Amino acid sequence: MKLTGAEIVVECLKEQGVDTVFGYPGGTILNIYDALYKHSDEIHHVLTSHEQGASHAADGYARATGKVGVCLATSGPGATNLVTGIATAQMDSVPMVAITANVAVNLLGRDTFQEVDIAGVVMPITKHSFIVKDVTKLADTIRRAFYIAKEGRPGPVLVDITKDVTAAETEYTPVKPEKVLPRVDTIKESDIDRAIEMIEKSERPYIFVGGGVTISGASEELMEFAEKVDAPVADTLMGKGAFPGEHERYTGMVGMHGTKTSNLGITKSDLLITIGARFSDRVTGNTKRFARDAKILHIDVDAAEINKNILTDASIVGDAKEVLKRLNERLSQQDHHEWVAEIEAMKERHPLTYNPELLTGPYVIETLYRLTKGDAIVTTDVGQHQMWAAQFYKYKAPRTFITSGGLGTMGYGLGAAMGAKMGRPDVPVFNIAGDGCFRMNMNEIASAVRNNIPVIEIVINNHVLGMVRQWQTLFYGKRYSNTILQDKTDFVKVAEAMGAKGIRVTKKEEVEPAIKEAMAAGEPVVIDVQIDCDDKVFPMVAPGGAIEEAFNQEDLDAKQA
C-alpha cells in the first residue's frame, strides 16, 4: 500500500510495539504529528513542556520497562534541545530512538530557518545517527534504528527526516521486527575456564555489579552466582537493584560516596569479579590504588570497556546473563565463611549514619522506604539528594532506581519520573530532587498535570547547590561562589500554580504524613522539604584519593582534634 513518509513513521512505530511517545511539535515535524493524530488510540503522545523533558521521559520509560523509549522534536532548537537527554542515555546505555524532522532536502546547507545538522551534532553521543533524504529508505532506517538501540550494549539512536520525505509517498509493506538476540558469539570457552580457575583459587572474592546486569536481565543468575562463589556483593549507582539491597551479602555502593564496607572490602579482596560495570572514576578513585591486591576478572558485553580504565587479569566479553549461566553450570560450591564473616563485621563497624534528631535528607529517604516497603520506582536528579537516595533506600528489584549516573544531568529526574510512570502505571513513582535541580525542570510539573501523570516530587530543599557547596566547604576554604539560592521562590505556590498539589515540610514529624498524603492524592504532588544548608553526604573519598580513604564527619572531627 502507498503511504506518506509521516504515515510510514507511525506504522513503523506500531511495528516495533511502541505505545507511548514523548515530544513537542513544530513546523518541520507537523506531517508526523498529523499522522499521529489519526492513530491516537494506538500510540499515546505525551506533550512535555520542553524537548529536554521529552528526551528524559523517553529515557525514564526505557529504564523502567526495558523497552525502547521514543521522543520526537522539530528541527533546529527543537532538535538541539534533545541533545542533553541523548547524551544522558548514551552514558548510561539506555535504548532510545529520537526522531527529528529537518528542512526539505533542497534547503539543506543554506542556513534555512531552523536548520541544524542534528545528525552531525549528535554523532559522538549516539550509537548511530541517520538523516533520511529518500522516502523509499525511511522504513528500513527506522527499523534499523530500533535494532541498533537494543542490540548488544544499548544506547540512543537519532533519525532525522527531511520534511519533504514526510510528505512524499512510497510503497509500504509491514515487516515483523528483527529479534534482538543476546551477544554470545564473543564468549570464549577458554575465558570461562580461566574465570573458573581464578574463582576457585580465590580466598577473598568480591562481586562488583554495574548496570549491565540489569540491562541483560541477569538478576536471578547473579543471585545464584553470589551464593556459589560465597562472596559479598557491592554495586555502582547504575547497578542498584540488580542485587537486592536487603540481602545479607549486599554491602552497598562502591566509590566516592560508597559505604566504608564496600570500599575497604574491595581493597582487601584478592579477586574482584566485575560484572557489567565500566570502572568509572567515581567508582575507582585513584586507579593506581584501586583493588591493588586483587586480581580483576571483568565481564562485559562491550569489548571496548575491557582494560579501558582498569587493567584486568582476565575478561569475558558477552551478555552478562549468558556468561553467568555458563559460570553457574561449571562452578562448584565455594566456601568463604571466614571472609564473609569478616565483611559482616565491617558492616557492623561502619554503618551509614545521620543525625537522628534533625530533619535531614537521609531521614526523608528512609521514611519513604519504610512507607513504600521498597515497592516503588525512585528517580532522582543529581547531587546530594541523589547520593542519599542511593544510600538509604533499599532497592529490591532491577529497574526501580532511575538516575543519571554517567553524565550527572541536573534536571533529569522529573521527566524520567513521568516516563517511568507512563511505562509502569501500577507502581508508585517518586522523584527525589534538590532545589537547584527542581529549578531546571519544574516546568514539567505542568506536563504531569496536563497528562494526568501522578508522580510525586520530593524536593530536598537546602537553599543551596548542596553538593557543590560540600566541595566548597571541604576543599575551597568555604568560599561559596554562586552556590547560595536564598531567593523568594515558593515551591508549594509554584506547584499549585501549575495545578499540582503542594505540601511544605519543615519538621521531622511532618515527613510521614506528607508522604502518605501524596501517595493517597492520585495526582501530581510536590513536597518541599526544608533541610539545613550544610548537611553533607558521607562517607566521601576526596578527589584523587584511594577508595579505602573514605571519611565521614567523625573522621574529620578526629583529624581536627
Q: Does 51 reside within a domain?
A: yes
- According to the model, what pLDDT value does residue 489 have? 95
- Residue 284 vs residues 159, 205, 279, 288, 373: alpha-carbon distances, Å: 36, 17, 6, 9, 32
Choosing from 127, 150, 163, 421, the catalytic residue is 163
Residue 290 designated active-site: no
**Cα–chain center distance at 522:** 25
At 495 the pLDDT is: 98
Looking at the fold, whether 473 and 521 belong to one and the same domain comes out as yes
Question: For 136-140, what is the mean pLDDT?
Answer: 98
Quote the mean pLDDT of the chain: 97
> Three-state DSSP class for 531?
coil
Q: Clarify whether 467 is annotated catalytic.
A: yes
Residue 467's CATH number: 3.40.50.970
> Do 167 and 86 meet the contact criterion of CB atoms below 8 Å apart?
no
* Predicted confidence (pLDDT) at residue 561 exceeds the cutoff of 90: no
Q: Looking at the whole model, is its pTM more than 0.95? A: yes
CB 142 within 8 A of CB 68: no
How far apart (Å, rounded) are the C-alpha atoms in residues 535 and 353?
A: 12
In the prediction, which pLDDT does 503 show? 98
Q: Is the pLDDT of residue 486 over 90?
A: no
Q: Residues 394, 526: one domain?
A: yes
Using alpha carbons, select from 547, 558, 548, 506 the residue that is nearest to residue 528.
506
pLDDT of residue 104: 96
The 3-state secondary structure of 25-50 reads CCHHHHHHHHHHHCCCCCCEEEECCC
Task: Tell me, yes or no, whether 165 lies in a domain.
Answer: yes
Is residue 493 scored above 90 in pLDDT? Answer: yes
The catalytically annotated residue of 38, 42, 113, 197 is 113
Provide DSSP, 309-321. Answer: SS--SEEEES-HH
Which three cell numbers mark 483? Answer: 552556590
Q: Do 216 and 303 sit in the same domain of this protein?
A: yes
Taking Cα atoms as reference points, which of 367, 451, 374 lies closest to residue 57?
Answer: 451
In a domain, 127, yes or no: yes
Q: Residue 274 in contact with residue 298, Cβ under 8 Å?
A: yes
Question: What does the alpha-carbon distance between residue 144 and residue 68 come to, in Å, rounded to a whole number?
Answer: 13
Q: How far is CA 503 from CA 455, 499, 506, in A?
A: 14, 13, 10
Residue 26 has pLDDT above 90, yes or no: yes
Contact 418, 46 (CB under 8 A): yes
Bridge-partner residues for 160, per DSSP?
A: 100, 131
- Whether the pLDDT of residue 560 is over 90: the answer is no
Domain end residue (candidates: 295, 326, 349): 349
In the predicted structure, residue 439 carries a pLDDT above the cut 90: yes
> Contact at 8 Å (CB) between 194 and 34?
no
Kindly state the average pLDDT of the residues 6-30.
Answer: 98
Measuring CA to CA, which residue among 5, 8, 7, 10 is closest to residue 23?
A: 10
15 belongs to a structural domain: yes
Last residue in a domain, options 349, 372, 388? 349
Average pLDDT, integer, range 450-473: 98
Sheet arrangement for strand 271-275: 250-253, 233-235, 205-209, 271-275, 295-300, 314-317
Residues 213, 372: Cα–Cα separation, whole Å: 24
- Amino acid letter, residue 215: I
Instruction: Give the pLDDT band (50/70/90) at residue 559.
Output: confident
% of the chain beyond a pLDDT of 90: 98
Q: Which residues 6+ apart lie within 8 Å of 211 measured at CB?
A: 92, 93, 236, 238, 239, 242, 276, 277, 405
The predicted structure's pLDDT at residue 406: 97
Could you say which of 51, 221, 305, 457 is catalytic?
Answer: 51
Asked if the structure places residue 551 within a domain, the reply is no
**Whether residue 23 is found in the same domain as residue 44:** yes
pLDDT digits (tens, 9 = 90+) for 507-525: 999 999 999 999 999 999 9
For 142-180, how does the pLDDT look when each residue is reduced to its tens digit (9 = 90+)? 999 999 999 999 999 999 999 999 999 999 999 999 999
Nearest Cα to Cα of residue 204 among 267, 138, 274 = 267
344 and 374 share a domain? no
Query: Would you say residue 544 has pLDDT above 90?
Result: yes
**Single residue among 349, 375, 392 that ends a domain in this structure:** 349
Is the same domain home to 258 and 345? yes
Position 182 pLDDT exceeds 90: yes
Distance separating alpha carbons of residues 71 and 325, to the nearest angstrom: 35
pLDDT per residue over 360-371, tens digit each? 999 999 999 999
Is 243 a known active-site residue?
no
pLDDT at residue 487, as a whole number? 87
pLDDT in tens, 328-357: 999 999 999 999 999 999 999 999 999 999
Other CB atoms within 10 Å distance of the CB of residue 509: 8
- Answer yes or no: is 200 within a domain: yes
Which CATH number fits the domain that encloses residue 288?
3.40.50.1220
Active-site residue 472, yes or no?
no
The catalytic position among 91, 198, 387, 467 is 467
* 114 carries an active-site annotation: yes
425 in the same domain as 305 = no
State whether 45 and 124 are in the same domain: yes
The whole domain housing 477 covers 361-540
Count how many Cα atoms sit within 13 Å of the Cα of residue 442 in the half-sphere of its side chain. 24
Looking at the fold, whether 30 and 166 belong to one and the same domain comes out as yes
Residue 529 backbone dihedrals phi, psi, to 5 degrees: -100, 115
Examine the pLDDT at 262 and tell me if it is beyond 90. Answer: yes
Helices (H) and strands (E) in the chain, counts: 24, 20
Please check whether residues 38 and 153 belong to one and the same domain. Answer: yes
Catalytic residue among 14, 15, 67, 114: 114
Assess if residue 553 is contained within a domain. Answer: no
CB 531 within 8 A of CB 360: yes
Half-sphere exposure of 23 (CA within 13 A, CB side): 26
pLDDT at 294 over 90: yes
Q: Do both 318 and 383 map to the same domain?
A: no
Distance CA 325, CA 328 (A): 5
Task: Count the domains in the chain.
Answer: 3
In a domain, 257, yes or no: yes
Region 407-428 average pLDDT: 98
- Within 10 angstroms of residue 127's Cβ, the number of other Cβ atoms is 21
**198 and 167, same domain (yes or no):** no
Q: How far apart are CA 184 and CA 322, in angstroms?
A: 7
* The pLDDT value given to residue 189: 97
Select from 153, 227, 192, 216 the least CA-distant residue to 297: 192
pLDDT at 254 over 90: yes
Work out the average pLDDT over 58-75. 98
Decide the pairing of beta strands 401-402 and 96-102.
unpaired
